[in-house]
Structure 1
């Protein structure tokens, strides 16, 4: 057999196999009996073996015809299911979205967007993956994630990005620290204050942003100590070894062993953006983007 039978031949045979009557089968298919008979003959000719035994009184399936019917029925069911599944994906009613997020989006922006999205699009599955900002940029470029909550701004000709939040930066201090005498902190107040910052391996993007901000005020942001995770940073601060700097979204999760004060300066903000590839036109992904944009707050 050089070519596979087309869909109309399979559909015609399955109908005849179910009815075992050419007249009723022709009515179901909106064909005349002679056209239906020619279809079955063409199918048998392509296959090279008979599917039906015809007499003047009845139509029966051959043994090969019964086996072919069982397989063809599953094939047609799968074909129809694939059409319906693909239609749901094309319409954005089902699908899969891979979401990257960093620590500053983990407490509010990402969870709230996910909760709202799952409520509105229950048949679209989400895969969440914690990644540093730089890792998200690489993962989006390599099509390993679809969207990323990352430290912004992010300017890339291959990607769209939208600002989700612009939040105050806070100084996190031990209890009874001299800076707590102030209701708010100005950048110059941090001159010569021991700093404890996240290390470059885990906190690189945030460190770059902070260094850029403070350098504009003539302040060297060289830390006296570094740590890789939040627990260690807060532990070192609460032990009185220095202060650190966090965005507002994390302040409520720091516990009672430290105190905080906002840094008051128009430029001293931490920005979170959502980024996705320009050529990613998946309806499911675009639905997630719209949901995240609505959840984003520009504080």
Structure 2
């Protein structure tokens, strides 16, 4: 493959091709006419063919020069456009942010961050992908997403982790359940009830957190039934087959056939963290993180 000419040579050639006059072209380029002639000679030598026909009266493009002028004009336009577009990405005005999120962030944290970010940075594309926490960790490691809303805490030397929310846990029960006589429940109330939980395949991270919390107060969770998604869990609860435990962010989306009571134990909380790789210095990503973290820790 022949060596590509320098952009300065291309720019000089295009200017001469437009003016068909070396004096005027040199004035436009702010260089000596002799220096411009040397540039054109160098370009023709590099290419191996003549671009201009010169006489004492006029300068004309050769047939090869005419074709090369059209291509060179396009190349310079593409180069200028790429510089502008890359500057926009570097400054965070355009680009994309790939976002992973799990169920507990889907109702408020993620949508609110996306809404606020879109208002401030309308030309940055946001790509949203629902995935459980463990999947987000793998996706971050493989550079398949830029940032993730995960169940926390999460400690990894390769990543930044920012606590966005800490939520009280609630017991979700069918209407008319005996525990509804109490305004708030303690962990022992859950242990004495038939328990329905998400399965380990889809709800593994949350199950680990719940097991840790209940183990701290001497209770080993033993679910009677398991399900893979929220609709099935709530359906089983509303059918009177048991109770489940959900964080506060989902309580408003459970429907009319279940009721809830908070767990009166200060440590029984679910945490949502925002995680991104330390090596990812994309301006658009950092702007998204800045918008998302203004939500702050709540509940």
* Shorter-chain TM-score tier: over 0.9
Q: Which consecutive unaligned segments of at least 5 residues does structure 1 have?
A: none
In the aligned structure 2, how far is the partner of 1:135 from the partner of 1:91? 30
2:255 is matched with 255
In the aligned structure 1, how far is the partner of 2:251 from the partner of 2:91? 40
Pairwise CA RMSD: 1.0
In the aligned structure 2, how far is the partner of 1:119 from the partner of 1:66? 47
Matched positions, count: 299
In the aligned structure 1, how far is the partner of 2:199 from the partner of 2:228? 5
In the aligned structure 1, how far is the partner of 2:195 from the partner of 2:151? 21
SS at structure 1 position matched to 2:49: coil
1:203 is matched with 203
Q: Deviation of residue 2 (structure 1)?
A: 5.0
- C-alpha deviations, 1:217-272, integer Å up to 9, x for none? 11121100011111111111011110000000000000000000111111000000
TM-score, with length taken from structure 1 = 0.98
In the aligned structure 2, how far is the partner of 1:228 from the partner of 1:3? 59
Q: Deviation of residue 3 (structure 1)?
A: 2.9
2:28 is matched with 28
Q: Which moved more, 1:81-90 or 1:68-77?
A: 81-90
CA contact (8 A) 1:236 1:242 kept: yes
Q: How does 1:223-238 map to 2 (within 5 A)?
A: 223-238=223-238
Q: Deviation of residue 297 (structure 1)?
A: 3.9
1:214 is matched with 214
1:280 is matched with 280
SS at structure 2 position matched to 1:246: strand
In the aligned structure 2, how far is the partner of 1:130 from the partner of 1:263? 28
- C-alpha deviations, 1:179-216, integer Å up to 9, x for none? 10011111122222100000111100000000100111
2:37 is matched with 37
In the aligned structure 2, how far is the partner of 1:195 from the partner of 1:188? 12
Q: Deviation of residue 23 (structure 1)?
A: 1.4
1:173 is matched with 173
Q: How does 1:148-159 map to 2 (within 5 A)?
A: 148-159=148-159
CA contact (8 A) 1:109 1:296 kept: no
Q: Which moved more, 1:117-126 or 1:1-10?
A: 1-10
